[in-house]
Amino acid sequence: MNRLSLLAAAAAALLLSGCVDRAAADAQLAKGCEAGVNALLTDDMKITRVDSSSFSASPEGQGFRHVSLKALITDGWAEENREFVCIFEESFGFLNASHTAALYQLRLSPEEIYGKSGKEILGDTQAFIKLNDAIREAMYQ
């Protein structure tokens, strides 16, 4: 019996050590959102500092995560505080052993939206491809 208890404890420790918690998943989403915003800003503009990020369940439904970044952007001369919103489709593996996410939508402003709405792609298709490549690289490399 002693061996069986030791084996069960070791298996439980191994499974729990590989778990992805909500905070780690949110940090990964914020990193992806920042990379996506930088990919879509004009060449002379970029995020210089993320002042805050907030996370919540998305109104799109279960399996979606809403990420809001308040950031300082600059073009080398002028600085501007802006808020950007990303919505990700996400899933966790068995026992939260893994986390995967894909961009659903990114809002540079209320008028400038990239990504999906239902099955429709919003914005320029080439920009959407560039956006997904930047996010994938930031989140998974």
Question: Angle at which helices 125-140 and 22-40 pack, to 10 degrees?
Answer: 140
Residue 4 lies in a domain: no
Parent domain of 69: 19-140
Neighbours of 121 (CB within 10 A): 14
Does residue 7 lie in a domain region?
Answer: no
Classify residue 9: in a domain, yes or no.
Answer: no
**Is residue 1 situated within a structural domain?**
no
Share above pLDDT 90 across residues of the chain, in percent, rounded to a whole number? 61
Taking the model in full, what pTM does it have? 0.83
Neighbours of 29 (CB within 10 A): 25
At CA 98, angle to CA 25 and CA 37, rounded to 5? 40
Q: SS3 for 23?
A: helix
> What pLDDT, in 10s, does the model give residues 66-75?
999 999 999 8
Please check whether residue 3 lies inside any domain of the structure: no
Q: What's the total number of domains in the chain? A: 1
Q: Would residue 13 count as lying in a domain?
A: no
